[in-house]
Amino acid sequence: MQFIKDDININFIGNRKKAYAFSLALIVISILLLIYRGGPNLGVDFTGGILIQVKMAKAHTPAEIKEALKPVNLEDSIIQEFGEKDLFEYLIRVQRPDMESEGLENKVIKLLSDKFGESIEMRSFEMVGPKVGSDLRDKASMAILFSLLLISIYISGRFELKWLKSITMAVVLGFVVLIASKMKISMVWISIIVLIATIILLWVLKLKYAMGAVIALVHDVTITVGVFALTDREISLSIIAALLTIIGYSLNDTIVVFDRIRENIARFKKRELGEVMNSSINQTLSRTILTAATTLVAVIALYVLGGAVIHDFAFAMMVGIVIGTYSSIFVASPIILAWEGKTEKKK
């Protein structure tokens, strides 16, 4: 199906500087928001603590529920309405990993029943210890990091046939991880260090396609996390799954554009690179928009109809699809053009 004409010629590459400014502004705002909030709002999965879900007979304010839970020292808990409003379900998040959980479930039910004079149904009671939370946080950071590293190796080998350089980069980064881990640095900081080292190595080894893809993916993840900071949503294990899905989706879009660029460079050797790139993006535009639109329809359906459990996951996917589609057009390919422009100036 093709609803965009073949002869369309939108000047994407000509507007790349505006796109750079827009992307840079979004990234700076995301980073400032994360600094202002003291980092991402990590859920119980990563910080450790207790998550209680209760169903009540009537609606109550979080302040009323906190007041009822004072005898068990849960007045500083985070309480939010869960699910549809007429169900009267509430989530009680206890972000204290050292909290004694034995008998707490029955105490919460009794206190709420006595306070409000109604039957209380315990829907779920989960506890995550501080060690487990820390391990999950480290593994989540490494999952995102290694997905980006493997992508850079794959892109370098597929589009530039530089498998030896890719393997060399992988070995060097392995040493960086080993040295950083022996210095007893947290896994989150190790991930940041390795990511910076990856971008430097891609520059030194002149792996331009991988550089464009990795920067576009970092762009997508950073902005998505920034939107979560803006809306004060929690980062949980399901959101890490969403981020990895966004990476895969955005990469797929980028590879389609890169494939067409490579084909057109071979066909039109006398054309300028910027013109070839712009033609390639326009030629794949119909496919890009159709893919984004159909995926968004499914994700919006999940967001509206999927219930509170999957709400944040669907929200992350919606943001990621929009940002990933944008970066495939305005970030990944222009990075290669900027690289080639600097190379030409040096020559």
Distances (CA, A) of 107 to 66, 125, 200, 304: 14, 12, 55, 35
- Whether this prediction's pTM lies above 0.85 is answered by no
- Judge if 97 and 183 occupy the same domain: no
Q: What is the CA radius of gyration of the chain?
A: 24
The burial of 23, by beta-carbon neighbours within 10 Å (0-12 exposed, 13-18 middle, 19 or more buried), is given as buried
- Answer whether residue 6 is part of any domain: no
Q: One digit per residue, pLDDT tens: the chain, 347 residues?
A: 556 665 677 888 888 888 889 999 999 999 999 888 888 888 777 777 788 888 888 888 888 888 888 888 777 777 877 766 677 888 888 776 666 667 778 888 888 888 888 888 888 787 776 666 677 777 777 777 777 777 877 887 777 777 788 788 778 877 777 777 777 777 777 777 878 888 888 888 888 888 888 888 889 999 999 999 898 888 888 888 888 889 888 888 888 888 888 888 888 878 888 888 888 888 888 888 888 999 999 999 988 887 777 888 999 999 999 999 999 888 888 888 877 654 444 44
78 and 220 assigned to the same domain: no
Residues 152, 103 share a domain: no
Residue that terminates a domain, selected from 111, 128, 145: 128
Closest Cα to residue 287, out of 6, 17, 23? Answer: 6
Q: Are residues 316 and 191 in the same domain?
A: yes
Whether residues 25 and 67 fall in one domain: no
Position 223 scores a pLDDT of: 93
DSSP code per residue over 115-176 = HHTS--EEEEEEEE-HHHHHHHHHHHHHHHHHHHHHHHHHHHHHHH--HHHHHHHHHHHHHH
Distance CA 131, CA 199 (A): 32
In whole angstroms, give the CA distance from residue 246 to residue 180.
Answer: 28
**b (16+ CB within 10 A) / e for 168-192:** ebeebbeebbeebeeeeeebeebbe
User: Same structural domain for residues 212 and 95?
Assistant: no
Residues 6+ apart with CB under 8 A from 93: 43, 44, 49, 50, 51, 52, 77, 78, 79, 80
Q: Which amino acid is at 89?
A: E
Asked if 227 and 194 sit in the same domain, the reply is: yes
Are 121 and 106 found together in one domain? Answer: yes
Number of domains in the chain: 2
- Report the C-alpha gap between 77 and 103 in whole angstroms: 17
CATH number at residue 193: 1.20.1640.10
Pair 166, 66 in one domain: no
Mapped onto helix, strand or coil, the DSSP state of residue 51 is strand
Is 7 domain-assigned? no
In a domain, residue 1? The reply is: no
Asked whether residue 8 is domain-assigned, the answer is: no
> What's the angle, vertex CA 127, arms to CA 123 and CA 128, rounded to 5?
140
> Within 13 Å, how many C-alpha atoms sit on residue 228's CB side?
28
Q: Could you tell me which residues are beta bridge partners of residue 122?
A: 54
Positive or negative torsion for Cα 146, 151, 152, 157: positive
Residues 68 and 211 in one domain: no
The answer to whether position 207 is within a domain reads yes
Q: Which residue, among 72, 138, 76, has the nearest Cα to 105 in the 3D structure?
A: 72
* Residue where a domain terminates, one of 73, 105, 128: 128
Asked if residue 244 and residue 174 are part of one domain, the reply reads: yes
- At 99 the pLDDT is 67
Predicted local confidence at residue 346, as pLDDT: 45
What is the extent of the structural domain holding 202? 13-43+132-346
